[in-house]
Structure 1
Amino acid sequence: MDSPLDVTTTGGVQVWTLNQTETGNAITDLSFVEAIERAVDEANENLEVRAIVLTGAGKHFSSGGNVKEMADGQGMFGLDERAQRRAYIAGIQRVPRALSRLEVPIIAAVNGAAVGAGCDLAMMCDIRIASEKAFFAESFVQIGLIPGDGGSWFLPRAVGYERAAEMTFTGDRVDAATALEWGMVSRVVGLDDLLPAAHELAARITKNPSHSLRMAKRLLQESRTSPLDTVLGMAAAMQPLAHRDPEHQSRLDRWRSR
């Protein structure tokens, strides 16, 4: 059986590839949850990793939940209400919690369909690039469900409340051009250009010192929910650490020698 998440490292860039093409890269299996947690922990430990590209194998980015298992009442989908609630907490909800503690900038390279939990997975990333063939759908209501994986928290922060409400209440698709107009993605490129564009962006990120990148990401994440004074206090505590970093000193030395 293929690994649900393939991880490759080249220089300071890791590529995480969703690799369950037989299910459209569904991400509700516990094996994927555990794989994403391992990948996050290993990236956090490895200070040489400075950027991550997340993409999907085959024609889909991610189809989200395994609808066949839902229809057949398999696994967590066959449990009673109390057990299923616990299964969500102990299962798919571990993914947003893991990605929220990821210290490294992560770029979603959305190659195709990003549906349901797959759409939410893309929203959990720091930056999104889409191919012309990509589309997004917060499609839970169309099968009588709600976003159970944190989508109601991530999507409004990506596109604003009103557009998130439109996507959530209709379940309709948003094509790549509309996603760009809405600010859901930072750019749209041809499918063949998608990974090169993601790697080019990752290379621009990895030129920068590891410690300052990780602290800058933490400040951005904190700014989503914290008041200004809290973020300023964190910045005041972090900046002296950045000043003492040897990479900062080497950059200053290069600037002086220009």
Structure 2
Amino acid sequence: MSIILLEKRGPIMVMTLNRPDAMNALGEEGDGPAIAAACNEIVADPEIRCAVLTGAGRAFSAGGNVKAMKEKTGAFSGKPHIVRNGYRNNIHMIVKSLYNMEVPLISAINGPAIGLGCDVACMADIRIASEKAKMGVTFLKLGLIPGDGGAWLMPRLIGASRAAELLFTGDVIDAHKAAEWGLVSKVVPADELMDEAMALAERIAQQPPQALRLAKTLMRHGNTASYETIMEMSAAAQALMHETEDHLEGVDAILEKRTPDFKGR
């Protein structure tokens, strides 16, 4: 059974973490390549304008497979240099492929998102939580540190102080606290979560796909690149967008006071 299921709904791809009996725990051998392949498939499809990531069953993801840690199997097996490669070639593939995906990504957090699962949810551009969701970066409770890049990501999302509090205490917070802290942008009833996520994805999917992907790329590079670098990238990207049919369609739609129909050309 693959860790990830894909369901194409028009211009939107729904990605479902699919290990419900283990609360969608991650880190088994092959998880990284499977999720990376799914992300590559989405990016390669010009019809896809947005993706939604959620979890099967009652959890988004309980994080790393604690049983595998105990048994030292999968990504957690072998001597330190082997475990290092397990992180680099498996777990890191999960988070990197999600974070670097050109298509805008929404996390629909349907239940607990803990440890690695929390960081996976946070790789998305936008996060919506069910009232049943809980989030925590509980690595220290296992005698570990965030081995998945969370120490880089979390301060950028919620600020250094709150990121430190979340990591150093190992506290698990509810959906409303997550919204207050900026980990998620919206909290909705559990039975409305996917409807809300899909409605948002559909609004995003109405945008011109080439410009949409480039806009996301600029935002991602904006986390690390200098102001001058982003300005140069923006000028070059904008020059390309001026040559697209979608740009002309957008201009015409405004002048004609109608809804644009972007074709990705």
Q: Which residue of 2 aligns with 1:61?
A: 60
1:164-179 map, 5 Å: 164-179=163-178
Using the TM superposition, give the Cα deviation of residue 43 of structure 1 relative to its aligned residue in structure 2, in angstroms: 1.3
Q: Aligned with 2:144: secondary structure?
A: coil
1:195-214 map, 5 Å: 195-214=194-213
Q: Aligned with 2:242: secondary structure?
A: helix
Q: Paired residues, what number?
A: 257
8 A Cα contact 2:28 2:75, kept in partner? no
Mapped to 2, the partners of 1:59 and 1:82 lie a distance apart of 35
How does the TM-score come out when normalised to structure 2?
Answer: 0.94
The answer to whether residue 106 in structure 2 is matched with residue 107 in structure 1 is yes
How does the TM-score come out when normalised to structure 1?
Answer: 0.97
Q: Which residue of 2 aligns with 1:128?
A: 127
8 A Cα contact 2:31 2:90, kept in partner? no
How far does the alpha carbon of each residue in 1:158-209 deviate from its partner, in whole angstroms, 9 at most, with x for none?
Answer: 1111111111111110111101111111100000010000001001100000
Q: Which residue of 2 aligns with 1:250?
A: 249
Using the TM superposition, give the Cα deviation of residue 79 of structure 1 relative to its aligned residue in structure 2, in angstroms: 0.8
Q: Which residue of 1 aligns with 2:223?
A: 224
Mapped to 1, the partners of 2:167 and 2:54 lie a distance apart of 23
Mapped to 1, the partners of 2:3 and 2:82 lie a distance apart of 25
What is the letter of the counterpart of residue 175 of structure 1?
A: D
What is the letter of the counterpart of residue 176 of structure 1?
A: A
Q: Which residue of 2 aligns with 1:158?
A: 157
Q: Which residue of 2 aligns with 1:32?
A: 31
Q: Aligned with 2:60: secondary structure?
A: strand
- Could you tell me the percent identity over the aligned residues? 43
Using the TM superposition, give the Cα deviation of residue 26 of structure 1 relative to its aligned residue in structure 2, in angstroms: 1.1
What is the letter of the counterpart of residue 157 of structure 1?
A: R
Q: CA RMSD in A?
A: 1.1
Q: Which residue of 1 aligns with 2:21?
A: 22
Task: Point out 4+ residue stretches in structure 1 off by more than 3 angstroms.
Answer: none
Q: Which residue of 2 aligns with 1:238?
A: 237
Q: Which residue of 2 aligns with 1:10?
A: 9
Unmatched segments (≥5 aa) in structure 2: 258-265
Mapped to 1, the partners of 2:230 and 2:208 lie a distance apart of 21
Q: Which residue of 2 aligns with 1:191?
A: 190
